[in-house]
Amino acid sequence: MRAKHKYNPRSKEGARRIAQSYGYRVSIYDMPQMINLMARAGIYLADVDYTKNPEYLPFESDPDLVADSTKTITL
């Protein structure tokens, strides 16, 4: 029996259970925030094109979001 008769497809959990009952598996490529986090740590996936998709770019690559890292702090 497929889960489509049992769960609500409009809710996130119901949609996940229905997709799982049809054999769909979640992968790292479905999570752009996780790819971004890995890129910030210096881990780059071979199958991801970071230049075409701006949501995969690391946070530090956007100059508007990052303060000047070359500024010296005096104590």
| Residue ranges of domains in the chain | 1-27, 31-69
Closest CA to 43 of 60, 30, 58: 58
Are 18 and 3 spatial neighbours (Cβ–Cβ below 8 Å)?
yes
**4 neighbors 18 (Cβ within 8 angstroms):** yes
- Per-position DSSP letters for 3-37, written without gaps between them: GGGTS-TTSHHHHHHHHHHTT----GGG-HHHHHH
pLDDT in tens, the chain (75 residues): 567 778 887 888 888 888 888 888 888 888 888 888 888 788 888 888 877 776 666 555 555 555 555 556 566
